[in-house]
Amino acid sequence: MKSKSVVIRVAVLFILFTAMGDVLFAGGQKDSAVQEAAGVLELKLGHLADPQNPYALGAVRFAELVEERTNGQVVIKIFPSSQLGKAQKLIEGLILGTVDFSLTTTAVLGQFEPKLLVFGFPYMMRDRDHAYKALDTIGMELAENLEPKGLKVLCFMENGIRHMINNKRKLNSPDDMKGLKMRVMSTPVYIEMMKSLGADPTPMAFGEVYSACQLHTIDGLECPAVHFWQKRFYEVNKYITLTGHTYESEPMMISMKTWEKLSPEFQDIMLEAAAEACDYARKTAVEQEAEYFQQIRDSGKCEIDTVDTAPFAEKTKIVWQILEEKVGKDLITRIQAVK
């Protein structure tokens, strides 16, 4: 009798578990079907900057516009502050398709399309307006050469107008640059520029710069206002000199592997969103620059000096001649002719 009771209980439990399993499985099928119907595509965007950097904010705006205009079918997850790797690794990720979007400077992209280096030549750009017009026309034209290499430029955001900062002395003229050990990006434009000014160019990872200034391993560096403030370089240097020697852009790129998977409709949305986000990032850069310089002045920790830039431009003109063969004289002429 007892044995029969046990059998009945087992049978009942079996039926219950089977029924529950059918319900869970059906629920799982429903969730899967919903996800498939929604067609949510998650993409990754990596860059090097702090989240409050103008181009970082531009990337956020881009992601918002894309998600909104695809009705949530494309979601872009952003990884700032080198979370997905440094510039070289990000570009390799784009080529391989392991990273969907990235932002990095034309100085770095020059390894893949040397003509893009021209936009970072010292005093190539008369002002921001000139830079925007040249990049949005000639820059986008040159960027097409990257597509067979796996990279598609959607727009050129801003990495700022660059100035000198050092802990040795005021820079009243190019002569004051002589002998200064200055950190530079590891690219020919910046190395040759420092040489032309009589300084000692010292390539160094950006993450090491603050401590190098603090320990006087280097005498200074060149970068835009956003880095003076956000990286707190004004704390470990005494003098900022507004040389305005280069305008550095920050191209936003998509992997060609990702691009080719998108429908024409989604490709159009990406291009439109990139253009709007680029305008937003550029305006933000201008606003932040004024704020950061004022905050540095208010701190009383670092002087900010204006300077006659003409002698600096004259001294660095040799960089154009040295690198002319890489980019072509006709390209320099075209950029200078942009109004």
> pLDDT tens digits, residue range 187-196?
999 999 999 9
- What is the DSSP track for 152-196? EEEEEEEEEEEEEEESS---SSGGGGTT-EEEE-SSHHHHHHHHH
Q: How confident is the model at residue 66 (pLDDT cuts 50, 70, 90)?
A: very high
**Mean pLDDT taken over the chain:** 90
Quick: pLDDT tens for 252-301: 999 999 999 999 999 999 999 999 999 999 999 999 999 999 999 999 99
Angle at which helices 188-196 and 310-327 cross, to 10°: 140
What are the structural domains, with CATH classification, of the chain?
39-337 (3.40.190.170)
- Confidence (pLDDT) at 114: 95
pLDDT digits (tens, 9 = 90+) for 140-156: 999 999 999 999 999 99
The letter for the amino acid at 157 is M
Closest CA to 135 of 114, 105, 156, 151: 156
- 3-state DSSP assignment of residue 285: helix
